[in-house]
């Protein structure tokens, strides 16, 4: 047997050589196995060429030191295997193409682009992107002309061979420095419709509607003039798409409000150091200035930060979709959009010059103020201003009041009976409605009634992301897809739908959220779906776990399929009712404050109201362990029992009560679902004007209504949110006074409460409201199909306390003058 010393050399030089050899073998194995493309014939020879050109072969040229020589030195030896060896390394290219294709299609359909588009692909190399684009848009038919601009003759040769093979006559390969490429040099016969914005001259020809760079920006030494040239190429409503590697620290971008969100953007120190050093070997530069300048020169429409996970290594890359910085930046457009958010009259420049200035002209939204600050600093507007729809109002996602929700929604479905709301409120086309977003179901129900405006308000950004997803789905998808997403809660092609169809109708923050989380929610391997996500999903999973533990799952299925109330009652009384009387349920859930808050959304103040009513009615608590009366859990237990029993006895789950059907099945059925999920509702909500009046605010109700023109709202729906305020604080008083200010006289506030006589109703009365309890829950009867709340109230504004405050201040002032 050989000694170990005869196998492993002791000489340090030999050790280094051995280590390098092992590393080479490892890298060759990685490239040969990992980069294997399923759609192309690859061979070990191709990866050997790739490895030689990238990691072994010295970078040489003809001695001139030009960028073209440097590129040729790198690409000439591997041009014929470039595409075969980049499939796994250069991730995100197809997503970028899908996103810009969706933007172009939307802008064409909206009439913003009236002619067949021109596309310039800077650093287009072998033309791979153009061929891949054909999966999203027909390149020969959709584009009038496509220009692949690259400085490497070898890659351009491969591109020409590609398009000759495909027979695409409208694709032109230009071997030229991107800094000097001018579209009008190649488009002399283009119809003279729009002036092109150029760096050195103005030619009366149209600009490009699409400019892309795919893993090219990081390889261009003089990147500033190239990014500037993109602005000269782009037409008025054109789109820019960039995909590339990056590394960056949050210190550099932390306070910017125009980046479209920063989810996943920060890279840890070791990642920044390693990838910068690694890529510099091949003259690829990952300094942050490239992406920063891109975001400074253009407006951000969508932004994605991702990682290419390969053999346990996470390689950061980004996808960025932008437009002209000036698109939508005019003060007139800003004021018009701001007027819709604050319910103030839109004042044109002519109005200001010829008429008296209204007293409320200074009412501005936070979004408008942030836009003005950016304009004064020559910065792009926040990304929400560049969206195709102005549904979502800009907010600062870095504030603790937003981040405390840990990037997760509590409610995946809404526990408010929309049918009862419609009966009580009778919404008209003249109404201006403000309501808490929650899961967005009731917001969509209000939109079905087509009031003049619907303001959706929620402090949790992800609740508004969910509403945005629903609004985008109705705007872009057929009924079959909408039903799969929100009826069944699952869709196997969610990610593809998000990129191809939904992305033009979403804000950057919402798109980032659903790109990161949506596939796991809608395409999850476990098959749970939307309604098992979020805090409310935890409650559904617990219910399902209990039924499985007690072997009651078959009975649950029968209950949900019962066709008569008598059949439903029999099934309930025979087996399932025992679960509600289970000591295990009371001990693990109903007496657990943390569980009540995180899963069921019951805050401590609301639980205190339930216990107070229970004690008023002579109730006592019961300890399930000792069998003695105590003060833990039984009030909530009795409350839940009074909720469920009447529901089962008076509403048929299979056809009439989708709220409880969902909690038992985890999805809706064609016979039992929310109003907004009917085919008839889809016809109405898919019309182009269906959501023109929708504005989505991410803030507290008090903050939103404080920035609204006084006396403009007609209906405010606060759900049970007032229950969350502690009686000893002043939050409720402040909000009620703000509601009085924002509402018209005879405007109404509708609220639900877990209490029979909530303490804050008296405060409404003291602040100019006439309060009426329009529904009350009594044992054995349903107040509505949800039956979750003890009472429903409508508080009608009878007088303005703001006017009284003004009169009082004037009186105090005059008395003070008299004393003097």
Interval 186-199: pLDDT, tens: 876 544 444 444 44
Higher-confidence residue: 556 or 622? 556
Burial class (CB in 10 A: 0-12, 13-18, 19+), 721: buried
Mean pLDDT of 386-393: 93
Percent of the chain with pLDDT over 70: 76
The pLDDT-based confidence of 520 (bands split at 50, 70, 90) is very high
CA-CA distances (angstroms) from residue 364 to 522, 561, 645, 703?
A: 38, 52, 49, 12
Q: What is the dihedral of CA 672, 674, 680, 683, to 10 degrees?
A: -140
Mean pLDDT of the residues in the chain: 82
Q: What is residue 71's predicted lDDT score, i.e. its pLDDT?
A: 54
DSSP label at 394?
Answer: P
What are the tens digits of pLDDT across the range 30-65?
A: 545 544 444 444 455 555 555 545 555 555 555 555
Name the strand (E) or helix (H) holding 113: none
Instruction: Looking at mean pLDDT, say which of 376-380, 591-595, 598-602 comes out highest.
Output: 376-380
Burial class (CB in 10 A: 0-12, 13-18, 19+), 496: middle
Quick check: 305 pLDDT over 60? yes
Mean pLDDT of 795-812: 68
Euclidean distance between the first and the last CA atom of the chain, given in angstroms as a whole number: 113
Quick check: 27 pLDDT over 60? no
Query: What domains, with CATH codes, occur in the chain?
Result: 4-84 (no CATH), 90-324 (3.40.50.150), 331-345+358-386 (no CATH), 400-489+677-803 (3.40.50.150), 532-665 (no CATH)
Do residues 449 and 427 make contact, with C-beta atoms less than 8 angstroms apart?
yes
What are the tens digits of pLDDT across the range 655-684?
A: 999 999 999 999 999 999 999 999 999 999
Q: What is residue 388's predicted lDDT score, i.e. its pLDDT?
A: 93
- Out of 153-162, 256-265, 275-284, 806-815, least confident range: 806-815
Q: How far apart are CA 476 and CA 470, in angstroms?
A: 10
Q: What is residue 345's predicted lDDT score, i.e. its pLDDT?
A: 76
Higher-confidence residue: 804 or 300? 300
What are the tens digits of pLDDT across the range 735-756?
A: 999 999 999 999 999 999 988 8
Q: Taking phi first (over 0 means left), then psi (-120 to 50 degrees means alpha), and beta for anything else, what does residue 781 get?
A: beta
Mean pLDDT of 225-248: 93
Local structure of 196: helix, strand or coil: coil
Instruction: Looking at mean pLDDT, say which of 78-92, 375-389, 590-604 comes out highest.
Output: 375-389
Quick check: 205 pLDDT over 50? no
Reference 793, options 760, 767, 744; nearest CA is 760
Do residues 241 and 320 make contact, with C-beta atoms less than 8 angstroms apart?
yes
CA-CA distances (angstroms) from residue 468 to 184, 471, 472, 694?
A: 40, 5, 6, 11
Q: Which tokens hold the place of 34?
A: 């990992």
Local structure of 542: helix, strand or coil: helix
What are the tens digits of pLDDT across the range 309-318?
A: 866 788 999 9
- Radius of gyration of the chain from its Cα atoms, rounded to whole angstroms: 31
């Amino acid at each position: 047997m050989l000694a170990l010393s005869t196998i492993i050399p002791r000489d340090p030089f030999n050790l280094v050589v051995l280590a390098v050899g092992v590393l080479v073998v490892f890298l060759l194995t990685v490239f040969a196995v990992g980069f294997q493309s399923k759609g192309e014939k690859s061979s070990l020879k191709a990866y050997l060429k790739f490895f030689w050109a990238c990691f072994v072969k010295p970078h040489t040229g003809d001695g001139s030191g030009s960028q073209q020589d440097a590129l040729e030195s790198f690409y000439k030896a591997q041009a014929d295997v470039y595409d075969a060896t980049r499939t796994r390394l250069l991730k995100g290219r197809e997503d970028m193409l899908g996103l810009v294709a969706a933007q172009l299609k939307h802008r064409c359909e909206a009439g913003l682009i009236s002619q067949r588009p021109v596309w310039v692909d800077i650093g287009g190399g072998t033309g791979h992107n153009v061929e891949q684009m054909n999966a999203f848009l027909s390149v020969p038919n959709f584009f009038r002309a496509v220009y692949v601009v690259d400085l490497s003759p070898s890659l351009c040769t491969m591109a020409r061979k590609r398009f000759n093979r495909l027979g695409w006559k409208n694709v032109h390969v230009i071997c030229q420095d991107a800094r000097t490429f001018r579209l009008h040099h190649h488009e002399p016969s283009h119809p003279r419709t729009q002036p092109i914005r150029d760096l050195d001259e103005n030619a009366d020809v149209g600009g490009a509607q699409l400019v892309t760079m795919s893993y090219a920006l990081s390889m261009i030494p003089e990147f500033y003039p190239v990014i500037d040239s993109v602005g000269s190429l782009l037409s008025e409503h054109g789109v820019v798409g960039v995909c590339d590697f990056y590394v960056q620290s949050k210190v550099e971008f932390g306070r910017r409000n125009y980046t479209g969100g920063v989810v996943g953007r920060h890279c840890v120190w070791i990642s920044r150091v390693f990838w910068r050093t690694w890529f510099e070997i091949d003259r690829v530069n990952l300094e942050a200035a490239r992406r920063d300048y891109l975001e400074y020169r253009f407006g951000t429409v969508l932004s994605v930060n991702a990682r290419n996970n390969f053999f346990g290594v996470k390689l950061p890359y980004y996808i960025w979709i932008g437009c002209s910085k000036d698109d939508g930046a005019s003060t007139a457009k800003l004021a018009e959009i701001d007027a819709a958010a604050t319910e103030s009259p839109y004042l044109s420049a002519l109005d200001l010059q010829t008429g008296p200035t209204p007293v409320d002209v200074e009412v501005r939204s936070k979004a408008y103020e942030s836009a003005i600050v950016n304009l004064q600093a020559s910065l792009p507007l926040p990304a929400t201003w560049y969206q195709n729809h102005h549904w979502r109002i800009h907010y600062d996602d870095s504030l603790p009041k937003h981040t405390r929700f840990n990037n997760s929604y509590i409610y995946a479905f809404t526990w408010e009976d929309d049918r009862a709301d419609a009966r009580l409120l009778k919404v008209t086309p003249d109404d201006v409605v403000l309501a808490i977003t929650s899961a967005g179901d009731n917001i969509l129900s209000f939109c079905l009634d087509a009031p003049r405006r619907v303001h959706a308000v929620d402090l949790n950004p992800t609740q508004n992301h969910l509403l945005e997803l629903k609004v985008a789905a109705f705007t872009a998808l057929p009924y079959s897809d909408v039903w799969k997403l929100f009826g069944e809660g699952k869709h196997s092609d969610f990610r593809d739908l998000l990129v191809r169809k939904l992305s033009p109708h979403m804000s950057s923050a919402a798109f980032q959220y659903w790109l990161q989380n949506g596939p796991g929610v809608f395409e999850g391997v476990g098959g749970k779906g939307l309604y098992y996500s979020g805090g409310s999903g935890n409650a559904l999973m617990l219910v399902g776990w209990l039924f499985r533990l007690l072997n009651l799952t078959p009975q649950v299925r029968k209950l949900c399929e019962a066709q008569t109330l008598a059949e439903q009652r029999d099934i309930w009384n025979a087996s399932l009712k025992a679960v509600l009387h289970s000591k295990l349920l009371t001990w693990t859930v109903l007496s657990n404050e943390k569980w009540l808050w995180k899963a069921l959304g019951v805050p401590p103040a609301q639980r205190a109201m339930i216990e107070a009513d229970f004690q008023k009615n002579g109730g006592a608590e019961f300890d399930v362990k000792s069998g003695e009366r105590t003060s833990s859990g039984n009030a909530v237990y009795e409350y839940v029992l009074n909720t469920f029993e009447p529901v089962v006895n008076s509403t048929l789950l299979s056809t009439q009560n989708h709220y409880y059907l969902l909690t038992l099945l985890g999805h809706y059925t064609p016979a039992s679902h929310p109003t907004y999920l009917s085919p008839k509702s889809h016809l109405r909500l898919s019309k182009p004007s269906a959501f023109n009046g929708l504005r989505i605010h991410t803030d507290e109700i008090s903050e939103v209504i404080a920035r609204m023109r006084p006396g403009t709202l007609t209906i405010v729906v606060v759900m049970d949110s007032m229950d969350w305020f502690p009686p000893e604080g002043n939050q409720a008083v402040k909000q009620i006074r703000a509601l009085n200010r924002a509402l018209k006289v005879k405007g109404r506030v509708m609220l639900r409460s877990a209490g029979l006589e909530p303490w804050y109703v008296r405060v409404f009365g003291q602040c100019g409201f006439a309060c009426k309890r329009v529904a009350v829950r009594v044992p054995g009867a349903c107040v509505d199909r949800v039956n979750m709340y003890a009472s429903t109230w409508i508080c009608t504004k009878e007088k303005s306390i703001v006017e009284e405050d003004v009169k009082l201040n004037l009186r105090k002032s005059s008395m003070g003058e008299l004393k003097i």
